């Protein structure tokens, strides 16, 4: 398939994510990278962001929805297992896409050429950067 490099890239990125997550200990999950920058994501907040944003992106771009974005128990190992399972399912679904799917025009670009439907960004606000606050 002419677009197999995209599937291979997706696989490489999922493995990189899993490798980085495996470097943390459970005690690290709620530590901020810089103690004076409350908007910096903790490892747990980043794991939430990765799981939720990737689930939404694959559902909206490819129609691939593999179920709940987050693990029931938010430990390091639960995030790793959940992400490995979900990203593996998404990868398997991508492998079934034909060339027509990969060559299709992106509706987001067409929408942007008409001016787009913009929602104002809320700004940083007082809370840490995460989808759940």
Q: What's residue 126's pLDDT?
A: 67
Q: What's residue 15's pLDDT?
A: 97
pLDDT tens-digit readout, 89-101: 999 999 999 888 8
In whole angstroms, how far apart are CA 107 and each of 49, 59, 82, 114, 116?
A: 24, 14, 30, 11, 11
pLDDT band at 129 (very low <50, low <70, confident <90, very high): low
pLDDT tens-digit readout, 35-86: 777 678 889 999 999 999 999 999 988 999 999 999 999 999 999 999 999 9
The more confident residue out of 20 and 129 is 20
What pTM does this model have?
0.80
Q: What is the mean pLDDT of the chain?
A: 86
> What DSSP line would sit under 69-100, residue for residue?
SS-SS-SHHHHHHHHHHHHHHHHHHHHT--HH
């Amino acid at each position: 398939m002419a677009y197999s490099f995209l599937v291979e890239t997706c696989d490489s990125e999922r493995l990189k994510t899993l490798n980085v997550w495996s470097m943390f200990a459970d005690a690290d999950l709620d530590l901020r990278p810089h103690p004076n920058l409350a908007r910096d994501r903790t490892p747990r907040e980043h794991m939430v962001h990765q799981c939720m944003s990737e689930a939404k992106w694959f559902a909206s771009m490819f129609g691939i929805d593999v179920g709940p974005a987050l693990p029931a128990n938010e430990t390091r190992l639960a995030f790793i297992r959940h992400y490995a399972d979900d990203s593996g399912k998404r990868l398997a679904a991508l492998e079934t896409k034909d060339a027509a799917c990969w060559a299709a025009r992106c509706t987001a670009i067409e929408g942007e050429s008409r001016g787009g439907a913009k929602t104002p960004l809320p700004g940083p606000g007082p809370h840490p950067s995460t989808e759940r606050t």
